[in-house]
A = this chain, B = another copy of it.
Amino acid sequence: MTTLAEEVLAGSRLALARLLTLIENEDPQGEAALDRLFPHSGRAHWIGVTGSPGAGKSSLVNRLAQAFRRPADGSPPRTVAIVAVDPSSPFTGGALLGDRVRMRDLSGDPGVFIRSMASRGALGGLARTTPAVVQALDSAGFDIILIETVGAGQSEVEIARLAHTVLVVEAPGMGDDIQAIKAGILEIADILVLNKADLPGAENALRTLRAMLELGRPPHEETAESLPVVWRPPLVPTIATQNEGIAELLGHIQAHAAYLRQSGGWQVRDRSRLQTQLEELLQTALLKRWRSSLPEGQYQQILTDLQARRISPYQALHSLLGEPPLPQSIQRGSTALFNA
C-alpha cells in the first residue's frame, strides 16, 4: 500500500491532481501529504507572470511552456507546471476559457501539467493556498513552474512575488499607458515584457517603459571581477500569438536564474518565502491556542464593548493579553511634537 505522497513522487498525475484539490480545500490530509513531500521540494525554478488584464499573459505562458519543452539551443527539454490564478468566477467563464485555449496548445504533452485556480467567490483562499500548490508541484519534480496571475492587485502581486523570477507583462494601448503601469508592479519586475508588440502604439509604450525602467534603476555597480552585482531588468518585446520574441525572453529567464544562483539571491528568496510561510502558520496557531485558553464569554463581551465604543481596539488588545494599556506618556509625546 502506497501513500498519496509516494504516488505523487512516483509520477502519478492523478494523485497529484487529488493532492492539489485537498490543498485547495485546506484539508488536513493535504497538509500532511505536503509535509511528507517537503524534503523533495526546492529544486524547481518558480517563474511568476503578472501584469494588466488583457496583456496576453495566458498566450505568453503557453509559448514559454512550449519553449521550455523544445529549447531552441538543443538543450534537454524541461518539465513544466502551470498554475493559473484566476479570480474570475466559473460562471463568467474566464478560467474555463483560458483552459480551453491551453488545452489546444499543450495537450498531449506528458511533460506539462496545468492547474487553474479559480476563486469560486473565496477571495482570501487563493492567496492562502497558492504557495502550497506551487510547493506540491515543486516536490512532484517539475523543473519549471509558471505562476500566472492577473496582476492588477496587491494579492496577485504578492503571489507573483513568491517566484524566483518575476515577469511583468504589459501591452500597448491598455487604456491610459501611464496609469496602467503600477509602480508597485514595476518594482517587482525582474523582466519586463511588452507583449502584442505589433499593435499600434507599441513604439510609444516601449519608450515609456524604458524611461520608467531608467528612472527606477539603481546606479550601476560592479564587483572586482566586473560581474554586475545588481540585476538590470531587461525590456523584452514579444508577439506571443506569433511566437516572436519568445526565444529571447527564454534567454533572459535563464540569465536571471544564473544571476540568482551566482549572487546568492536564489537562497535569499527561498529563505524569505519559507520564513513568511512559517510565521503565518505560527500566527494562526498562536491565536488559536490563546483563544482556546480564554472563556468565550469574555471575548464576546470585549467585542461588544468595542462595538459600543466603550473601549478602543488597543485597550481591548491589552485587556485581553493582560497587559497595562499604552502609557499616557506616548500620547503626551505626540502632543508635545505638534503643540506650542
Chain A residues within 8 Å of B, Cβ to Cβ: 1-5, 7, 15, 18, 22, 28-36, 38-42, 53-54, 87-94, 97, 119, 121, 123-124, 126-127, 150, 152-158, 175-176, 178-184, 186-187, 212, 215, 267, 270-271, 274-275, 277-279, 281-287, 289-290, 302-303, 306-307, 309-310, 312-317, 320-321, 326, 330-335, 337-339
9 smallest beta-carbon distances between A and B, as pairs: A153-B153, A89-B183, A152-B152, A29-B334, A154-B155, A38-B312, A35-B312, A286-B286, A283-B283
Count of this chain's copies in the oligomeric assembly: 2
B335 touches A3 (CB 8 A): yes
Give the distance to chain B from A289, nearest Cβ to Cβ, in Å.
Answer: 8
Given contacts A155-B153, A183-B121, A281-B317, whether A32 and B92 have CB atoms under 8 Å apart is no
Measured between beta carbons, the chain B residues less than 8 angstroms from A182 are 87-89, 92, 94
13 further interface pairs, Cβ-Cβ under 8 Å (given A121-B187, A154-B154):
A29-B337, A32-B314, A33-B334, A35-B314, A36-B331, A87-B184, A97-B179, A127-B154, A150-B152, A153-B157, A155-B155, A271-B307, A282-B321
Give the distance to chain B from A200, nearest Cβ to Cβ, in Å.
Answer: 16
Give the distance to chain B from A58, nearest Cβ to Cβ, in Å.
Answer: 11
B303 touches A29 (CB 8 A): no
Cα-based distance from A32 to B317 in the complex (angstroms): 13
Cα-based distance from A331 to B32 in the complex (angstroms): 6
22 pairs of residues in contact across A and B, judged by CB atoms under 8 Å: A3-B334, A5-B331, A29-B330, A30-B334, A33-B331, A35-B315, A91-B183, A91-B212, A91-B215, A92-B183, A121-B183, A121-B184, A121-B187, A152-B152, A153-B154, A153-B157, A154-B154, A278-B303, A278-B320, A281-B314, A283-B283, A289-B321
Measured between beta carbons, the chain B residues less than 8 angstroms from A126 are 154
Measured between beta carbons, the chain B residues less than 8 angstroms from A150 are 152-153
Measured between beta carbons, the chain B residues less than 8 angstroms from A175 are 53-54
Cα-based distance from A89 to B73 in the complex (angstroms): 40
Measured between beta carbons, the chain B residues less than 8 angstroms from A28 are 326, 330
Measured between beta carbons, the chain B residues less than 8 angstroms from A22 are 334
Cα-based distance from A105 to B148 in the complex (angstroms): 40
Measured between beta carbons, the chain B residues less than 8 angstroms from A180 are 53
Given contacts A54-B175, A313-B274, whether A32 and B339 have CB atoms under 8 Å apart is no
Measured between beta carbons, the chain B residues less than 8 angstroms from A38 are 309, 312-313
A307 in complex: contacting residue of B34, B267, B282, B290, CB < 8 Å: B267
A307 touches B270 (CB 8 A): yes
Cα-based distance from A224 to B178 in the complex (angstroms): 55
Give the distance to chain B from A215, nearest Cβ to Cβ, in Å.
Answer: 6
Measured between beta carbons, the chain B residues less than 8 angstroms from A7 are 338-339
